[in-house]
Structure 1
Amino acid sequence: MAAATTIDVSQLSKAFGPVQAVSDLTFTVEPGQVTGFLGPNGAGKTTTLRMLLGLVRPSSGSATFGGVGYHDLEQPLAMVGTALEASSFHPGRTARAHLRIYATAAAIDAGRVDRVLTQVGLAEHADRRVGGYSLGMRQRLGLAFALLGDPRVLVLDEPINGLDPEGIRWIRGFLRELAAEGRTVLVSSHLLSEVQQSVDRAVIISRGRLVYDGTLAGLEMSAKVAVDAPDRAALLSALLAAGARVDPTDAGLIVKDIPAADIGAIAQRAGVPLSLLAAQQAGLEAAFLELTSDEPPPRVGAHAAPPVEGAQS
C-alpha cells in the first residue's frame, strides 16, 4: 500500500430537479482513523458517496482523493476500495470467480483474490455460488472486493447492515485494523449506535447539510446545561455577550455546547449569582437524534449550515 491519502469534500451540492439532495457540504476525512458518515435515511449520504465516486455529477463543488477526482485516478482500485451495495453480484458466480474477473480487468495480481477472501473470512466459502450467500456473507464479499487493489482509501456504505452480532464485532475490529495500517476509512450509517464503537470521528448530515464534524467526545459535549439566576435577564445578557447559544424556558435558561464550569465562570465575571447550574448530558445517541431531528438542525462546527427540504439518501 502506498502513502496515505485524504478525502476532501468541498462545497459539494446536488439538485435533482426541484429537490436539493445535498447542499454546500464540506468536510475532510483523514488517514489513520475511521470516520463515520452519519445521518438518517434521506439525509443525502448515498448521494454524497456517489458523487465522491464519480457515479453522480455534482451540481457544484468537488469531492477528491488527495486532490484528484475519482475519474482522474490512474489506478482507481489501488487508490479507492468501495462497497456500496451488498447485492451487486452475479448470483451464478462463485466469490472467487467474481473477484478474479475484477482482478484481471484491473491488472491486479491474481494472488490477491485468495488473500482478500481469507482476510474477510470467506476462504472456505470461496467456491460457493454467491446466490446462496446470506446478506452478511455478501457484505464480507463486498469488503473483499474493496480490498482487492490494496487501496489507500476505503469507502463503505452501511457495511454493518445484515450482520449478526458476531459479524458486527468482527467488522468493528476489522475497520480499526485497516485504519491502523494508515488507510483512510469512511463508513456510512444511519444509526450512530451501529458504528460508535469503531469510529474515531463523525461527520453528520441532516437533509443534505452538515450539522456536525468532530470527535464522538465532542458530540457528547454538545449536551445542554440548565442554568438560572434570580436576575435571569442579567444572566441571559452575560451569556449572549459570551457567544453562548441560549434557549429561554419557563424554568430557566438552556445553554448548548458550553461546559457547566465555563457557564459558571461567565456568570461570576458578570457578577450574577446563580440559583441553578446542572448539566443535562443525555449521551451520544440523544445528541445524534437532536442534530438529525425534523426540526431545523443547529449549527455545530465551522461548516455547519441550515437544512434543505427534500434531501435524498
Structure 2
Amino acid sequence: MAKNENRRRALKNLIAGTAALSAGTMLSSFSPRTEATPFLLKGNVNHSVCRWCFSQLSVEELCIAAKDIGIKAIDLVGPKDWPTLQKYGLESSMCNGAEINLVNGFNDKRYHSTLLKNYSEMIPLLAKAGYKNLICFSGNRAGKDDETGLANCTEGLKQLTAIAEKNKVTLVMELLNSKINHKDYQCDKTPWGVELVKRVGSDNFKLLYDIYHMQIDEGDVIRTIRDNHRYIAHYHTAGVPGRNELDELQELNYPAIMKAIVATGFKGYVAQEFIPVKADKIASLRQAVALCDV
C-alpha cells in the first residue's frame, strides 16, 4: 500500500511540474505551473484520451493526469475499469469489450452470432453505467468486395439497433487506414462508412472518424468533416506520419481541424490516440490537448 501511495505521489509531483502550454501555437514553449498560471481550457472541445496509448501508466494514474490537464474522459476502456473512472469523475467516452477483434467483424456473417451476443449483453451494461458510445469494427475484407461487406454489416448491425435505441447507446464503427496500420480493413474510407450508416438507418449507429487514419487513406480532412459531420459520433487524433505526438514533426494542422469540428456544432468527444515517444508522456498529452483546445 505504501509503495502504491508513493507511486501516486510521484505521479502527482510529475504532473505538477509539467510545463503549461500556450494553446495559440503548435511550437509554444513551456512555462512553470503555478497557482497564478493554471492550465485553463476554453470549453469548446470535450477532450478525452485513449487508454491503450499510455499503457505505462495504471488506469488510476492516467485518471489523475487527465483530471489535472482538464480531460473529461478516457477512451477504449471496458467494464472492469469503469469504477476507477467513476472514482475520479471521468466519463468512459468510447467503451469497448464487445468486439471480437479488428479483423473479424460485422462484414463476415460467420461472426454475427458471436457479435450479436456480445453486443446485446454489453449495451445494457453501458446504459446502466450511464455511458453512450460502444465501438465496433467492419473487419477485414478477406476477398469481399465493397457491396458484400456493406450488405453483411447492414444485416448484422440492424439486428442490434432496437436494443441500442432502447438503451440510448450509439454503436460507433471506426474508420481505420488499410495502407499502413490495418492492411485489408474494409471500413477504410469515409464514403463507405457513410453509406453503411445510411443503410442501417438508425441515429444509434454512426462513425468514429480517426483523423490520423483518414489522413493516410484519403486526406482532405477538413472538407470531409464538413460534408459528413452528421454521420460522425466521435474523433481520434495522432500525428502523421508515425502516430506520435502532435508536434512540429507531423503534417496535420490540428488547430484548423479542431476549429472545423467545432464549427459543425459537434458536442461529442475528441480523444487523443497518439503513441508518445518523448520522455515526459504527460507533457506530450498536455501539449496535444492545448493544441486541440480551440
The TM-score normalised by the length of structure 2 is: 0.36
**Larger strand share, 1 or 2:** 1
**Larger helix share, 1 or 2:** 2
The TM-score normalised by the length of structure 1 is: 0.34
